């Protein structure tokens, strides 16, 4: 029966589940070599590593290239030796320190190591967050500063306006922290734009990324990343904002939350948390292309049995429930490749090619029927729950990674249960996963500005369906570039 709220698809739905935030090939192919000859890393898998991982020479070649690409785009050395990410007891729980507590501050981070825009400054912080079971752990975040902060006529907003940003999937290992990546992972997709528009961006890396388990740790040791655990990431997001406000008194108490893909689910979950436990200063949430939660998360796991999605989700479940034997989730092939990914600190570029061999199941058939997978999915379910404050949801009609059908269903459940929710659903016909941030940029920027200005939002759920002013096929489908450091004067004339 159709929902009375009628949130519908804006365009043709491609029903393919894949990794939120990352596109990857559906079959193995040989990468002939890097496009650049100036990679800063030149790691080569040893014969023993290839044999132990059970991979082909083609996969080994591709892993070498992808891994060196990732390492060449680190802003600093490995997080295992970068002093910033090494805080006393940072690999264990610290129940005596409350979540939201500030642990350390790098007030001025060297922006020459990053590809951030001119007239933007950077800081990094370590703070205390909390797992779903209430264990206090250490996490990292970055703070992006504008040159000129945006001002508002609203007398209730004082200080520098804050947007808490939740990122999409960068990987599941400690090296994959956005604060450790030169372009901070989302560059002009969102975070750079927010800073250039006058907002201070507070962006958690998430637990297990940055501060996390080292490659030498046993499987059950160290802080591990609970991939797509929306409420765990919501904790990281809210506590990062709290810690940053403590670190920098000039920041406003008023803040807006925003997230995309994995971070979209986190931002939505944070909005439901604000309903149960409000934080003073919370103004609303922007959710873009949210990763699925609840039963849809299990469907994602089943459809991802032959790619890294299943491996990532299995890794996430074991991060939350380490008592579950690895062999109950992973096949021998999956466990061997995941071990290699962990030992090398590989992120999503490496994982994409490592888990691309056709015809191989990386997770056990039926593992999602187990109690741990079911509990993990239930804990990630944000649909149908009461939210606090207004929420803007952005969704592409041609999103194969976070399907519009799934987002619409979660919205319908929410609005059926709570018809007075202040939800605006903006769909964009012909637009895919990451491009929705570009297509809807002025919409979400205007929406954020209105929250700081104190513009009231009427109760109820509404939808706006946007279409391109020209033939949608005439537009660029996705970004075909990445940012690099300037090393010669002629590269920046």
Q: Residue 28: inside a domain, yes or no?
A: no
d(Cα 162, Cα 269) in Å, to the nearest integer? 19
Question: Are 147 and 236 contained in the same domain?
Answer: yes
Tokens 């929250």, residue?
Answer: 451
- CATH label of the domain that carries residue 257: 3.40.50.1820
Report how far apart, in Å, the C-alpha atoms of 184 and of each of 67, 164, 188, 360 are.
18, 14, 10, 33
Same domain, 197 and 265: yes
One domain, residues 61 and 198: no
Q: Are residues 219 and 334 in the same domain?
A: no
Helix (H) or strand (E) run with residue 464 in it = strand 460-466
Note down pLDDT in tens along the chain; length 493 residues: 234 344 443 332 222 233 444 444 455 678 876 655 567 778 999 999 999 999 999 999 999 999 999 999 999 999 999 999 986 654 445 557 899 999 999 999 999 999 999 999 999 999 999 999 999 999 999 999 999 999 999 999 999 999 999 999 999 999 999 999 999 999 999 999 999 999 999 999 999 999 986 555 555 556 899 999 999 999 999 999 999 999 999 999 999 999 999 999 999 999 999 999 999 999 999 999 999 999 899 998 888 778 889 999 999 999 999 999 999 999 999 999 999 999 999 999 999 999 999 899 999 999 999 999 999 999 999 999 999 989 999 999 999 999 999 999 999 999 999 999 999 999 999 999 999 999 999 999 999 999 999 999 999 999 999 999 999 999 999 999 889 888 888 887 6
- Three-state secondary structure call for residue 204: strand
Residue 369 sits in the same domain as residue 402: no
Assign 258 to helix, strand or coil.
strand
Q: Quick one: 330 and 197 in the same domain?
A: no
| Structural domain contains residue 142 | yes
Question: Rounded to the nearest 5°, which phi and psi values hold at 245?
Answer: -65, -30
491 within domain boundaries? no
- Whether 275 and 413 map to the same domain: the answer is yes
pLDDT score at 303: 85
Q: Which domain holds residue 347?
A: 47-72+297-377
Which tokens sit at 473?
Answer: 């096929």
Q: Is residue 278 part of a domain?
A: yes
- 182 and 148 fall within a common domain: yes
* Residue 384 domain-assigned (yes or no): yes
Residue that terminates a domain, selected from 323, 350, 377: 377
Q: Is there a single domain that holds both residue 143 and residue 54?
A: no
Cα(215)–Cα(197) distance, rounded to whole angstroms?
39
Predicted local confidence at residue 41, as pLDDT = 75
Assigned domain for 453 exists: yes
Q: Are residues 460 and 441 in the same domain?
A: yes
| Same domain? 61 vs 118 | no
Give me the pLDDT at residue 30, please.
80
Residue ending a domain, among 362, 377, 392, is 377
Domain count for the chain: 2
Helix (H, G, I), strand (E, B) or coil at 300: helix
Q: Are residues 323 and 416 in the same domain?
A: no
Domain membership of residue 200 (yes or no) is yes
Tell me which of 343, 377, 411 is where a domain ends.
Answer: 377
Contact 433, 396 (CB under 8 A): yes
Residue 18 belongs to a domain: no
For helices 371-379 and 308-320, the axis angle rounded to 10 degrees is 90
């Amino acid at each position: 029966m159709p929902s009375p709220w009628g949130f519908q698809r804006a365009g043709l739905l491609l029903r393919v589940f894949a990794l939120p935030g990352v596109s990857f090939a559906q079959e193995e192919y040989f990468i002939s070599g890097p496009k650049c000859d100036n990679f800063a890393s030149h790691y080569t898998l040893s014969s023993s590593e290839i044999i132990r991982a059970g991979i082909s020479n083609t996969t080994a070649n591709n892993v070498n290239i992808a891994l060196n690409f990732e390492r060449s785009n680190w802003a600093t050395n490995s997080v295992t030796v970068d002093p910033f990410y090494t805080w006393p007891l940072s690999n264990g729980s610290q129940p005596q320190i409350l979540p939201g507590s500030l642990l350390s501050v790098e007030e001025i981070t060297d922006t020459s190591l990053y590809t951030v825009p001119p007239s933007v400054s950077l800081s990094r912080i370590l703070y205390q967050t909390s797992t779903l079971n209430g264990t206090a752990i250490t996490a990292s975040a970055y703070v992006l500063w504008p040159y000129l902060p945006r001002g508002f006529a609203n007398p209730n907003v004082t200080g520098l306006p804050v947007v808490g940003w939740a990122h999409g999937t960068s990987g599941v290992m400690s090296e994959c922290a956005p604060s450790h990546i030169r372009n901070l992972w989302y560059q002009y997709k969102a975070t750079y734009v927010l800073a250039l528009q006058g907002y201070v961006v507070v962006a958690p890396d998430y637990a297990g990324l940055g501060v996390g388990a080292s490659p030498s740790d046993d499987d059950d040791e160290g802080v591990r990343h609970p991939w797509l655990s929306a409420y765990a990431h919501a904790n990281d997001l809210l506590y990062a904002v709290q810690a940053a406000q403590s670190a920098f008194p000039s920041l406003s108490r008023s803040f807006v939350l925003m997230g995309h893909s994995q971070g979209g689910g986190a931002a939505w979950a944070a909005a439901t948390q604000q309903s149960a436990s409000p934080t003073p200063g919370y103004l609303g949430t922007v959710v873009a292309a949210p990763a699925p939660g609840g039963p849809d998360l299990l469907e994602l796991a089943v459809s991802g049995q032959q790619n890294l999605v299943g491996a990532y989700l299995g890794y996430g479940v074991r991060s939350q429930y380490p008592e579950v034997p690895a062999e109950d989730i992973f096949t021998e092939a999956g466990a061997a490749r995941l071990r290699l990914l962990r030992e090398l600190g590989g992120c999503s570029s490496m994982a994409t090619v490592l888990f691309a061999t056709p015809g191989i199941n990386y997770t056990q058939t039926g593992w999602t029927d187990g109690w741990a997978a079911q509990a993990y999915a239930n804990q990630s379910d944000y649909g149908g729950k009461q939210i606090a404050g207004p929420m803007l949801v952005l969704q592409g009609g041609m999103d194969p990674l976070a399907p519009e059908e799934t987002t619409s269903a979660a919205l319908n459940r929410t609005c059926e249960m709570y018809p007075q929710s202040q939800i605006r659903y903006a769909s964009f016909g012909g637009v895919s996963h990451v491009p929705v941030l570009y297509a809807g940029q002025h919409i979400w920027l205007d929406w954020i500005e209105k929250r700081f200005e104190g513009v009231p939002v009427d109760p109820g759920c509404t939808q706006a369906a946007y279409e391109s002013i020209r033939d949608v096929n005439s537009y660029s489908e996705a970004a075909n570039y990445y940012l690099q450091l300037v090393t010669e004067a002629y590269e920046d004339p």
